[in-house]
Structure 1
Amino acid sequence: MRSQRDLVLITGRWRKDSSLYPAEKLITILKAYADSITWIATKEGGLDYHDDCVHLIEVPDRLVEEPFYLNLFYHILHQLRVLSLLVRTRGDTVVFAFGSDLCLLPIIFGRLAGKEVILRSDGRPSKVYGMGKDQAAPIIERMFWLIERITYATASRLVPESPVMVSRYHLERYQHKIETGGLYVDTGLFISIKEVEKRRFRVGYVGRLSEEKGVLAFAESLSTILSDPGEEAMIIGYGHLAPVVARILSDGGIQHQVLCTGRIENRDLPRYLNEIQMVVLPSAFEGLPNVVLEAMACGCAVLATPVGGIPDLVHDGVTGFLLDDQSPEAIARGISRAYSHYDLAGITENARHLIEQQYTFPAAVERYGRVLGIPHPAK
């Protein structure tokens, strides 16, 4: 069995405000097993990424959400471009990740060409699209489901981010070729340096300011949570909903109690997290979110919706707390319930221990050794 390979990483079609951070982590893991890595990627506005060990090929694309038929046209065109690059790219193992579940043509070609095709999934697109309210949603959901059936069946190995996602997304039929593929936390950078009760901000939100992340509900809940004028909250992140968030805070008369940082560099995030007592993640859908891993590593209590792989991280009342739903009322209730717990500091200690046991870099490298079928990383 070869201990190193020529790897090709193919990622999905990313919006301008999407972060490269998870992909960079995956690449760092894959380097342990790779002679070479070629990254075929698409991001609105281009990618700002430089690594002498990685050959980056950017795919031109146009992201159009509506109407759907135009979105579908550009999706197919994107696949054809990726396929043409894959035909000309050296690599015996192809990893599809971060929104590539529907990359039908390149996945089929990869298998026909005798390549090892690994499909890493952070959530079934059909399940996500099925949450839509428009009349066409059920039809599109069914179409996505059919494509998923083909890509999941075709892939040599299927890699959900977290064990709970196997049952949540009904992947049991592929159990024979499933290995989970969670990423990692830099546990030397993300550390707890301040006791939770001594932190300035009662609650905080970290992430993209977009609808699916639940940031508007979080902002609306703050007028209830910050009933004492001396209490404060922090919102870390950027996105197109920033003006809406600002208006909600102003309408609630709490704009002076909430620090909105905008975008911050990841290397600075531990310092901010160590000023937050509780991080709230009210997302409609997630994979295995980095922000939860990093908040737990920094000693924050975490309150999150039980979506994606979150239940594998947040065990209610043990390593964190789970929300009933995404509503502002549920968020306020959840925060009140969490703060009434008799041992909040003990919960944050349990969370840090979980990270140290399962989500360090060496643990992630070992996981991907199993994914790639290589027992030990290259030395």
Structure 2
Amino acid sequence: MNKNKDLIIGLISSPIAIPNKKQLFNLTKILSDISSHIYFITGNAGSDLLQDNKNADTYSITYNKVDNKLAKILGYIFLQIKISFIFLKIAKKANTWIFFHGSGTLLFPVFTAKILGKKIILMLPGSSKALKYSNDPFYPVVKILESINLKLSTNIIVYSSNLISEWGLSAYRKKILIAHEHFLDFDTFTITRKYSDRIDIVGYVGRLSEEKGILNLMQAIPDLILWNKKIRILIVGDGKLKNEIKSYLDEHQLNEYVNLIGWVHYNDLPNYLNLMKLLVLPSYSEGLPNVVLEAMACGTPVLTTPIGATLDIVKHNSTGFIMEENSSKCIAENIINAFNYPNIEQIIKNASNFVENEFSYENSVNVFEKTLNSIHESQKSNIKF
């Protein structure tokens, strides 16, 4: 990769948890290959991502989550102040600033960047709509902060043009660009068990939270058992709904059909994907779930709701399956239809070829490089003499 000597990037991400580390790792790797230097403000699980990179400076902040509402508000305000203080010290060192995780709500740092006349790129891995589906009490506040930051931004990067209307971004269409940080290691995510050798396992990988539709999937299990008593459900992930899911399984005597294994190390994920005959994503809101690509690379067909950037990847009866909505009845019917699909091997082949062509590291770097170059060219053309 040829580094652009004129491109010095500042990257700001809220402190992240381990499940979000892969997203941030991908982005830092891509930016490292196309820029001469990165000034990186983050914290928690993201702190060590660039520690061995001589062309990067990392400024780490520790953030502790709390349950008390007032403490949560005060803690987040203090976090923004700390990020803004670091930003003020290093703002002049970078000519482009990308805000990633937390970009919608980091009002203080974004406002500070605006005052200093910096190019502000908001890269949105998700939307405040996810909080709406989970009945989060902070949703109205987050929505307002997100709206302000969108207006203050120079450019906005989203994963798919589908997300412009889905996330209510039409008013900002002129400054929206399409790019992603997703890529796969195809030596790790590959087929190690033939589809015909797998038992009847339906899998789910992700947070156990309302916006993911995981409760709807649980409620579909009785209908699936009536259809096939040998079917098993494998749940990889953790979250606030874990106890509610356990209670539901106990109440309906479904424990023998469901295996809740919690989070697994990322390097172990291919082993679990190779056990599944179908991966189900019954989400209400998504950006571009990496697990869709990972499953396809492992020869596991994907069934998803018609949301987010997944529609660019999962084509019904071609590279996967799309269900109309995520009611329990609809989920059960579509799982049964997917298991009975007569040409499943062609689906697997199509999906595998698609991700290998579109989500190689080289392709993702090229897309991102073109996106940043277009931003810089646009800025130059707006300079008045």
Q: TM-score, normalised by structure 2?
A: 0.84
User: 2:188 is matched by which residue type in structure 1?
Assistant: L
The Cα shift of 1:362 comes to 1.1
Which position in structure 1 is the counterpart of 2:321?
Answer: 321
1:269 and 2:248 are equivalent in the alignment: no
Which position in structure 2 is the counterpart of 1:216?
Answer: 215
Kindly indicate whether the alpha-carbon contact (under 8 Å) linking 2:282 and 2:305 is maintained by their aligned counterparts in 1. yes
Percent identity between matched residues is 28
Secondary structure (helix, strand or coil) at the match of 2:355 reads helix
User: 1:77 is matched by which residue type in structure 2?
Assistant: F
Deviations 1:257-291 (A, max 9, x none): 33333222211211221111100111222110011
Deviations 1:163-189 (A, max 9, x none): 211232233343333221222222232
Deviations 1:205-257 (A, max 9, x none): 11122333222332332233234443323222233433443343344434233
Distance in 1, matches of 2:218 and 2:73, equals 34
Distance in 2, matches of 1:156 and 1:370, equals 17
Distance in 2, matches of 1:239 and 1:245, equals 10
Distance in 1, matches of 2:203 and 2:66, equals 32
1:152 paired residue among 137, 150, 153: 150
Larger relative contact order (CA 8 Å, sep ≥ 6): 1
Which position in structure 1 is the counterpart of 2:82?
Answer: 81
How is 1:38-117 mapped onto 2 (pairs within 5 angstroms)?
38-43=39-44, 49=49, 51-53=51-53, 54-64=56-66, 67=69, 71-89=72-90, 90-117=93-120
1:195 and 2:194 are equivalent in the alignment: yes
The Cα shift of 1:46 comes to 8.5
Kindly indicate whether the alpha-carbon contact (under 8 Å) linking 2:273 and 2:300 is maintained by their aligned counterparts in 1. yes
The Cα shift of 1:161 comes to 1.7
- 1:133–1:273 Cα change, 3 Å: closer
How is 1:272-311 mapped onto 2 (pairs within 5 angstroms)?
272-311=272-311
Distance in 1, matches of 2:231 and 2:335, equals 13
User: 1:121 is matched by which residue type in structure 2?
Assistant: L
Secondary structure (helix, strand or coil) at the match of 1:188 reads coil
Distance in 1, matches of 2:216 and 2:134, equals 18
Distance in 1, matches of 2:217 and 2:120, equals 39
**Mean Cα displacement is larger for which, 75-84 or 272-281?**
75-84
Kindly indicate whether the alpha-carbon contact (under 8 Å) linking 2:123 and 2:157 is maintained by their aligned counterparts in 1. yes
The Cα shift of 1:9 comes to 1.5
Distance in 1, matches of 2:4 and 2:274, equals 43
Kindly indicate whether the alpha-carbon contact (under 8 Å) linking 2:179 and 2:368 is maintained by their aligned counterparts in 1. yes
- 1:201–1:29 Cα change, 3 Å: farther
Unaligned runs of 5+ in 2: 376-385
The Cα shift of 1:369 comes to 0.4
- 1:373–1:80 Cα change, 3 Å: same
- 1:265–1:61 Cα change, 3 Å: closer
Secondary structure (helix, strand or coil) at the match of 2:342 reads coil
1:26 and 2:24 are equivalent in the alignment: no
Kindly indicate whether the alpha-carbon contact (under 8 Å) linking 2:15 and 2:61 is maintained by their aligned counterparts in 1. no
The Cα shift of 1:4 comes to 5.0
The Cα shift of 1:3 comes to 4.0
User: 2:197 is matched by which residue type in structure 1?
Assistant: K
Deviations 1:76-121 (A, max 9, x none): 3322221111011232221101231122232232233243321101
Distance in 2, matches of 1:230 and 1:201, equals 7
Kindly indicate whether the alpha-carbon contact (under 8 Å) linking 1:209 and 1:238 is maintained by their aligned counterparts in 2. yes
Kindly indicate whether the alpha-carbon contact (under 8 Å) linking 1:235 and 1:260 is maintained by their aligned counterparts in 2. yes
**Mean Cα displacement is larger for which, 199-208 or 34-43?**
34-43
The Cα shift of 1:62 comes to 4.7
The Cα shift of 1:18 comes to 4.1
Unaligned runs of 5+ in 1: none
The Cα shift of 1:374 comes to 7.2
Kindly indicate whether the alpha-carbon contact (under 8 Å) linking 1:220 and 1:249 is maintained by their aligned counterparts in 2. no
Kindly indicate whether the alpha-carbon contact (under 8 Å) linking 2:24 and 2:46 is maintained by their aligned counterparts in 1. no
Kindly indicate whether the alpha-carbon contact (under 8 Å) linking 2:110 and 2:120 is maintained by their aligned counterparts in 1. yes
Kindly indicate whether the alpha-carbon contact (under 8 Å) linking 2:4 and 2:34 is maintained by their aligned counterparts in 1. no
Q: TM-score, normalised by structure 1?
A: 0.85
The Cα shift of 1:73 comes to 3.9
1:118 and 2:121 are equivalent in the alignment: yes
Secondary structure (helix, strand or coil) at the match of 1:291 reads helix
Secondary structure (helix, strand or coil) at the match of 1:276 reads coil
Kindly indicate whether the alpha-carbon contact (under 8 Å) linking 2:236 and 2:262 is maintained by their aligned counterparts in 1. yes
Distance in 2, matches of 1:51 and 1:201, equals 43
Which position in structure 1 is the counterpart of 2:242?
Answer: 242
User: 2:103 is matched by which residue type in structure 1?
Assistant: S
- 1:321–1:329 Cα change, 3 Å: same
User: 1:78 is matched by which residue type in structure 2?
Assistant: L
